[in-house]
C-alpha cells in the first residue's frame, strides 16, 4: 500500500475535532503521514519589517503542536513552526516532506491576517499539488 502524505498548514488555532474529522475524510483508510506547519503569520506589518517575529514564531509553535495532537490519532504527524508568509512556509515544508496534497486551514475572512489572505489560492497556483481549504472559526 502506498503512503499518502498530507501537508496541513494552519494559520491559527482550530477546534481539534473539526480538523481531525476533515483529515480523516481526506485520507480515508489509506496509510498516511502528516506534517502540520503553522506559519508565524500573526505578526504586524511593522514587526515584520523590523524582523521582530519571536512572539509570532512561539505562537506558531504552539499552534502546530495543538493541531498535531488533534490529528495524531488519525495518522502519525510532525509539527513545525513556519515562515511568516504561509506560502513560503509551504515551500519550506515541501523541501523536506513529499506531500501529495496540501490542506490550508485559515480563520474566516474577517479574522485572517494580512499575510493569510488567499494563501490557499496562491499555493494551488504555485506548487502543482491538490490544495483544499478549510475555513474555521478561531479555536
Domain extents in the chain: 4-136
Q: Any idea what DSSP says for residue 11?
A: S
Burial class (CB in 10 A: 0-12, 13-18, 19+), 96: exposed
**Which residue from 60, 66, 77, 109 is spatially nearest to 7, judged by alpha carbons?**
77
Query: Could you report the per-residue pLDDT of 90-132, keeping only the tens digit for each?
Result: 899 999 999 999 998 877 654 455 444 565 566 667 788 888 8
Q: At what angle do helices 86-94 and 119-127 cross, to 10 degrees?
A: 40
Helices then strands (H, E): number in the chain? 5, 5
Which of 6-10, 49-53, 134-138 has the highest average model confidence (pLDDT)? 6-10
In this structure, CATH architecture of domain 4-136:
3-Layer(aba) Sandwich (3.40)
Amino acid at each position: 500500500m502506498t503512503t499518502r502524505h498530507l501537508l496541513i498548514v494552519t494559520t491559527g488555532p482550530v477546534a481539534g475535532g473539526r480538523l481531525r474529522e476533515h483529515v480523516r475524510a481526506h485520507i480515508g483508510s489509506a496509510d498516511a503521514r502528516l506534517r502540520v506547519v503553522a506559519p508565524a503569520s500573526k505578526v504586524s506589518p511593522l514587526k515584520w519589517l523590523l524582523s521582530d517575529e519571536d512572539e509570532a514564531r512561539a505562537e506558531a509553535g504552539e499552534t502546530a503542536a495543538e493541531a498535531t495532537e488533534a490529528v495524531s490519532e488519525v495518522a502519525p504527524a510532525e509539527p513545525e513552526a513556519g515562515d511568516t508568509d504561509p506560502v513560503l512556509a509551504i515551500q519550506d515544508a515541501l523541501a523536506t516532506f513529499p506531500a501529495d496534497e496540501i490542506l490550508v486551514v485559515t480563520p474566516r475572512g474577517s479574522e485572517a491576517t494580512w499575510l493569510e489572505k488567499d494563501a490557499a489560492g496562491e499555493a494551488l497556483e504555485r506548487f502543482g499539488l491538490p490544495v483544499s481549504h478549510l475555513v474555521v472559526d478561531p479555536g
